[in-house]
Homo-oligomer: A and B are copies of this chain.
Amino acid sequence: MTAKNKITVKRNAQPKEKPATDQLAFGTVFTDHMFVMDYTEGTGWHDARIVPYEPFMLDPAAIVLHYGQTVFEGLKAYVTDDKEVVLFRPDENMKRLNRSNERLCMPNFDEELMLDALKELVSLDKEWIPDREGTSLYIRPFIFATQPYLGVAPSKTYRLMIILSPVGAYYKEGMNPVKIAVESEFVRAAVGGTGSAKTAGNYAGAMKAQEVAEAAGYSQVLWLDAKEHKYIEEVGAMNVFFKINGEVITPSLNGSILEGITRKSVIELLQSWGFPVTERKVSIQEIFDANAAGTLEEAFGTGTAAVISPMGELSWGDEKCEINGNQIGELSLKLYETITGIQTGRVEDPFNWVVKVD
């Protein structure tokens, strides 16, 4: 770490009360500190600092408010059964954040410095990490354009922040298969667009479809491709896998799909188990056909929030299909238990996915 990159720390003199761990929701409560770093064209990233969590001043003309030049990441810190604090593949999140930067014409950062910052911040606020089964500390690094300028052009100044939020268990009443609506009107991302970057606009655009699906009793939408409305892309903000006739298949990374870290981990795990996994185009018709033929064995989403989310029912226009009798599949459960087991230290970590904070 160069002198310029040293992280200064200003402790919060008024620490907040921590919420009860059985009352935790997602993303509503924030810890006592945050990491901040600024970028100025010509100077680069500077003033890396940990400061009390608090609102900050933004110019009304800041580019982020108008043109959405911003990228983010999401990962978690867990307390293991041995009371150690660990992160799950944080290097992958930092790499993806820099890839998102590239797509959005934003400046790269030093991944080593950021990993240090993550660890230092989490360590400082480690009392905030809940330790009930399934709970964790959600970590949100994000970078946004701050220059007050109304021309549509990359900003000359940016701010990078990391904020932390203690979150409750995703499966409060145990894992449950969910009902998914195949989206036939709205599109999340197109090849040539920003779908493979973790950037704000993808999520703003997705809210409408989610709203419509929820009103109709579904928990998420399944996105089809922008070109033909035939091929499966993702489910909500998760990647998606199907087990058909003993083979696991997942849509290949075509440029409009986010390269999920849970997706990558699932593929690597399955391969290590000698399980056949294929990344290729998957049409929604193929899934309904497989289900009709009795060969669709399991379907599940993957993402940092839920880890594995089994799909119990798919609705596509007038057609419906129930998957695996609306039960959690064997492989879905094994993947869930292995990954969460690695995260909590209950299961061996042959890939060195887990990174200790202290």
Contacts and interface: CB of A to CB of B under 8 A. Distances in A.
Contacts of A148: 28, 30
Contacts of A64: 64-65, 200
Contacts of A128: none
Contact of A204 (B30, B58, B70, B165): B70
A193 B194 contact: no
B211 A105 contact: yes
A151 B150 CA distance: 29
A16 B187 CA distance: 46
A20 interface: no
Contacts of A88: none
A56 interface: yes
A231 to B, nearest CB: 13
B144 A204 contact: no
Contacts of A70: 65-66, 68, 204
B190 A226 contact: yes
Given A66-B200, A72-B66, A200-B200, A154 B61 contact: no
B56 A207 contact: no
A190 B223 CA distance: 13
Interface in A55-86: 55-61, 64-70, 72, 74
A93 interface: no
A150 B154 contact: no
Nearest to A186: B192
A191 B202 contact: no
Contact of A190 (B56, B187, B237): B187
13 contacts: A26-B150, A28-B151, A53-B60, A57-B58, A65-B144, A66-B72, A69-B204, A69-B207, A105-B207, A187-B191, A190-B193, A194-B205, A199-B201
